[in-house]
Structure 1
Amino acid sequence: TLQVKFDYLKQKVTSGSARFNHCEQLAQKLMGDDNLFSERVENHQKELKQSWNSLLDHIDETTRELQEAGEIHIFRREVEDLIARMREKEQLMGKEIGEDLATIKSQQLMLERFERDFAILEIQEQNMMNNSTKLQATYEGSRNMELVLQQEAHLQEAWNNLQKKIAKRKEQLSTAAERKLFMIDTHNLLDWTHDVQANIKEKETPHNVEEALALKINREQLKADLEARKDAVSNVIKTGRFIVDDADSNSSNKQKAMSESSSDSNSDSESSDSEYDYAPSFIKIQDDIQELSTRWTELSDEVDNRVRSLESVIDILNFDVKIRKFLDKIRDKNLVLERHEEDAQMLLKKYASDDNNNFHLERIQDLIRRHQAFEQDTDILAKEIESMSEEGKSLIEQIPDANDHISAKLTTINDAISQLKDKSKQRSDTLHQAEKVQNYFDNYHELMNLLNEMLNKITAPHLPLDVAGAQLLCDRHNDYKTQMDARKEEFGAFEVKGRSLCKEGHFMKEEIEKRIDNLMARGALLVETWKARHTIYKHHLDIRMYMRDAEDFEVWLLREEFHLKNDDLGNTVEEVEELLRRHKDFLSAIDAHSYALESVKRLTIIEDSFYAQKHLENHSKKESSSNDKEIANKMEESIKKIEEEEKKSKQEKSESTDEEQERVIHEISIPEVNGVHGQEERSPPLAMDDKSSVEEPNGEIGGGSSSSDEEENEFLDAPDGYSSDPKRDVFNSSSESSSCAEKCVEATDKKKKKKKKRKDCRVM
């Protein structure tokens, strides 16, 4: 109602603001026209403005007070509603405990549902407390804050009381449930111990191991059950004692709690009375605890004694069973050892007639591995028997009456394992001796393969066609020699080891000596092959170097021939002098290049060897029989026929080239001077690609050597001090020659002789 009236007043003031503004404008207008009443108008304006502002301030203050009062009244009403809901929940909580466990569990479920509702109330209570804090912060210093604090205190007190009652109710139900569970567990354990004692008292005498084991298993199962239930019994006894102690403490504090409690506390004491009414007799709990503890101790001792007595009987029976099992194992081991021995003997007999050593080595190594596994099993078996012996001695100490029986069993088993170990050691020695010999044979095969591999490497290369390749081949061949020398000690060690085995009288002495001889023979063949190849490669390198120098010299010769083919003899004295000067320089270049001629005038290594061989052959021919001479004559005739046929076939190809060379030489020797000296043309130097001018009969450019096959097999038959190669005789007396034309003619003649000599060498 106050808010409605105040809102009406605010509307009237708001509607009067237009009149106030009109008065303000009118006063401003009157004061601006220099009116005699300006001062009076101004005073009235100030009074009006002050009254208007005071009215607005009073309205604002009243608005805040009304808003504060409204919020506080709303807060108070919400607090009262929340306290009322708390009291309703408290009435619904209930006070009954229940006489059986099911009723107590249902009460606990109801309390859990109430606690979920209690969580919602807790959220609402927290919101109320937050609202109280906001109101105190917003309207700090207001006279209404005391009311807010009072409502907050009432709410907090109601909330705390509700929490205490819920906690107490929960504790009462939990205690009642624990006591009911304790009584159930106690009676169950007492019934179980009674049944177990009845089972143990039935005496049974085992007649064999199976019966004894079955009875022992039954007793061990009982013992395991006792161990499994030991913690449960301890917990039950501990819980019973705690209940008794807690009951004594509660009974002493009961009267004090009832005299000091309020009306709410009276209701709590009623619930506590109901709890004590439903609780079991504490004297009965003490009796049950004592009975359970006594019966459990007696049962544990009785089960332990029964198990120990059965173990003594079972140990004797098990000892006999183990002895029989070990004897069966030893018998099986002996049979396996005999079969393996037969396999080894058959394998050793095949050594002398079979060269498949790798197969035999694998078989021997397989037998050794199998025997090692056999020995490991035997050692394990021996350790087990040793353990059995210790067990037998222990049984003798425990049961003196069984001394004779156990001692006889131990003697039998120890004798059997000793015989088995002796046989196993003998067979192991035989197998290792066979492996040693087979390893020696494997070493033989490795060394033989190494020799064959090296022999294949040495004999594999072909003769290269250049100096670099020949030099590389020689270096590689020398590397093979280094590798051979590096493995020489292995071959020596192989021979020494083999001789040692033969000297010791090994049963495979003949096979060892045979392999030593084969390896030494193969090694000697490798050395001889390397030496022969070394000689061939050395000769080949020398020939390739000689041919390279000869070709270089011939190329230089052809390049310089243009000086001789120049037909320009000069038209003036100056030109003639210039030509003479050039010709002198040309002759000087020839003299300076004479060093290259020395490298092609020498005899190659193969030529020296050939001449030495010819000398030996001539000497042997004189001592040979007439039949040898006839055979040689026939061979010579056949060679001549072949030579004539080759000569005829190549002569046709070389006719055009020979004619061209003769024409060029004739032009150089007898130069024809043209009548008009100023119109003479100089002939260009000989080009390397002009095949028609320098092509040899074999089709090569520049007067080169013959084909590669002819170069590799060329042997020159010439007397000492003379070379059949024209390249080694060209310009032999260049410093004494009178003209270049004569030298070129001589070179051409030498080339023709060279072709003929090459054919002769090829035929030979």
Structure 2
Amino acid sequence: VQEAIVTSEELGQDLEHVELLQKKFEEFQTDLAAHEERVNTLGGDAERLQQTHPQNASQIHLKKDELITNWEQIQTLAAERHARLNDSYHLQRFTADFRDLTSWVTEMKALINADELANDVAGAEALLDRHQEHKGEIDAHEDSFRATDEAGQALLSAGHYASEEVKEKLGILAQEKESLLELWEVRRQQYEQCMDLQLFYRDTEQVDNWMSKQEAFLLNEDLGDSLDSVEALLKKHEDFEKSLSAQEEKITALDEFATKLIQNSHYAKEDVATRRDALLNRRNALHERAQARRAALEDSFHLQQFFRDSDELKSWINEKMKTATDESYKDPSNLQGKVQKHQAFEAELSANQSRIDALQKSGQELLDRKHYASAEVTARMEDVSAQWKKLLEATELKGSRNQSQH
């Protein structure tokens, strides 16, 4: 039985099996150690018997040698069995660690691959945080990888009977670890791109919403009906233009950010380019409409200035017409004074000719620019011109009558 234990070729199929065999062998070694004293005692007895029974000394000597030979043989076999079980234990320990690590790598890859790209900034942040936690777990297994690799290298250095198997497993383990790190890095880049994309989408949406409000502001077609109202509208428009300028920096930054994503071959570069172009086109259209609105308001301002000047001039002409058409020339008293007064009146009219000319000039400038109210401008110019002509004719008539009375 003892010989069957020490000569057994059974080395265990896994770590648990080897540990069970080692436990049984330790029990055998304990039992063997207990027999050592008995073997020594028998050896001593044999020597005494040889002395006391010289006639049987030869036979006793043979039995003693046989006992010692068998004892030494079983001890040698036990040492060899102990060494083989140790080798098997180290192999199965290495194999178990190898299986644990490769199984963990498979699970970790599945965990990393299970995450889907986020649809908003908060989701992208959570994704990156979770991915960084995975890296922490990978780093935490570094000692296990190193210890398993060192254990395998030690088996190779010792010339272990399963060196080829160990060498193959070491190669697989290194590949698995490398592929896990590569997968983690690939996904990290994807998640970084996802974060960039969600930031771009968020900021683009904010600018789009802002532009919708600005476009709504430009829907106002009111150009004012007086100088005061036009000036108020111009002031509002200046404030609007300031807000456009303030937002321009953000739009430029978005444009540069989008260009960087496209140049870096972002996975959504086509969509980024489409959104960027749409944003810039909308911005350009907004600026064009803002410029058109300013031009219209400035046209309205010049028109209201023209209306004011023409109204003031017409009012002044009407006042002077009263003087030109009064019939004081019929009163024969103080004729000399009347002549002098009329000369002063004519001088006043002559001095105001420049106002008439200025009005005609400003009106013509509006017409040359193809002003939207050209018809009304023309009518007013003609009206003032006609009134002025009547005033001059009435003044001339009154002057000739004064002369005839004089």
Q: Please classify the TM superposition score into its range, dividing by the shorter chain length.
A: 0.5 to 0.7
Cα distance in 2 for residues equivalent to 1:521 and 1:541 = 30
The CA deviation at 1:430 is 1.1
For the 8 Å contact 2:261–2:269, the answer to whether it is kept is no
Alignment of 1:623-702 (within 5 A): none
Match of 1:324 in 2: none
Structure 2 unaligned spans of 5+:
296-406
Check conservation: 2:262, 2:269, Cα contact below 8 A.
no
Q: Deviations over 1:650-703 (max 9, x none)?
A: xxxxxxxxxxxxxxxxxxxxxxxxxxxxxxxxxxxxxxxxxxxxxxxxxxxxxx
What is the aligned partner in structure 2 of residue 315 from structure 1? none
* Alignment partner of 2:263 out of 608, 623, 626: 608
Distance in structure 2 (CA, Å) of the matches to 1:380 and 1:368: 18
**1:383-402 maps to which residues of 2 (within 5 A)?**
383=37
Instruction: Please give the alpha-carbon distance, in whole angstroms, between the structure 1 residues aligned to 2:280 and 2:43.
Output: 104
How far apart are residue 494 of structure 1 and its match? 4.0
CA apart distance, 1:370: 0.8
Structure 2 residue aligned with 1:333? 2
Flag the structure with larger Rg.
Answer: 1
Deviation per CA, 1:311-338: give whole Å up to 9, x if none. Answer: xxxxxxxxxxxxxxxxxxxxx4334444
Cα contact 1:591–1:735 (8 A) shared by 2:
no
- 1:361 maps to which of 7, 11, 15: 15
Q: 2:395 aligns to what?
A: none
Spell out, residue by residue over 1:1-40, the C-alpha distance to the aligned partner (whole angstroms, 9 max, x if none). xxxxxxxxxxxxxxxxxxxxxxxxxxxxxxxxxxxxxxxx
CA RMSD of aligned residues (A): 4.0
Maintained 8 Å contact 1:564/1:741: no
Distance verdict in 2 for CA 1:527–1:467, change over 3 Å: same
User: After the TM superposition, which residues 30-49 of structure 1 pair with which residues of structure 2 at under 5 Å, given as runs?
Assistant: none
Deviations 1:159-178 (A, max 9, x none): xxxxxxxxxxxxxxxxxxxx
Trace 1:35-434 onto structure 2 (pairs within 5 A).
Answer: 332-338=1-7, 341-344=8-11, 359-383=13-37, 411=64, 417-434=71-88
Residue type at the aligned position of 1:730: R
TM-score, normalised via structure 1 length: 0.33
Give, as a single letter, the amino acid of the residue that structure 2 aligns with 1:334.
E
Q: Distance in 2 between matches of 1:459 and 1:421?
A: 56
State how far apart, in whole Å, the 1-side matches of 2:254 and 2:4 are. 86
Asked if the contact 1:463/1:470 (under 8 Å) is kept, the reply is yes
**Distance across 2 between alignment mates of 1:715 and 1:563:** 32
Aligned to 1:328: none
Please say if residues 224 and 233 of structure 2, whose CA atoms lie closer than 8 Å, have aligned partners that are also in contact: yes
Q: What is the SS of the residue equivalent to 2:10?
A: helix
**Amino acid in structure 1 at the alignment position of 2:194:** H
Partner residue of 1:468 out of 113, 122, 127: 122
Gap regions ≥5 residues in structure 1: 1-331, 348-358, 612-711, 743-764
CA offset at residue 554 of structure 1?
1.0
- Aligned positions, number: 287
Q: 1:571 to 1:732 in 2, by over 3 A?
A: closer
Q: Are residues 1:554 and 2:106 paired?
A: no
Distance (whole Å) between structure 1 residues aligned to residue 120 and residue 211 of structure 2: 21
Q: Which amino acid aligns with 1:738?
A: Q
2:314 paired residue number: none
**Contact 1:723-1:729 at 8 Å conserved across structures:** no
Taking structure 1 as reference, are residues 515 and 604 closer, same or farther at Cα in structure 2, changes over 3 Å only? farther
Change beyond 3 A, Cα 1:501–1:461: same
Question: 2-side partners of 1:741 and 1:502: how far apart?
Answer: 85
- Give the Å deviation of 1:524: 2.9
Judging changes above 3 Å, is the alpha-carbon distance between structure 1 residues 343 and 723 closer, same or farther for their aligned structure 2 residues? closer
Corresponding residue of 1:751: none
1:365 alignment partner, SS class: helix
Superposition deviation, residue 380 in structure 1: 2.7
Once the two structures are TM-superposed, the CA of residue 547 in structure 1 deviates from its matched residue by: 0.7
Distance 1:735 1:554, change over 3 A: closer
Query: What CA distance in whole angstroms lies between the structure 1 residues aligned with 2:269 and 2:150?
Result: 47
Q: Which amino acid aligns with 2:112?
A: I
Quick one: structure 1 residues 370 and 741, their matched pair in 2 at CA, closer, same or farther if it must change by over 3 Å?
A: farther
Say if 2:292 is the partner of 1:739. yes
| Alpha carbons of structure 1 residues 433 and 587: separation in structure 2 relative to 1, 3 Å | same
Q: Residue in 2 aligned with 1:715? A: 270
Of 561-570 and 444-453, deviating more is 561-570
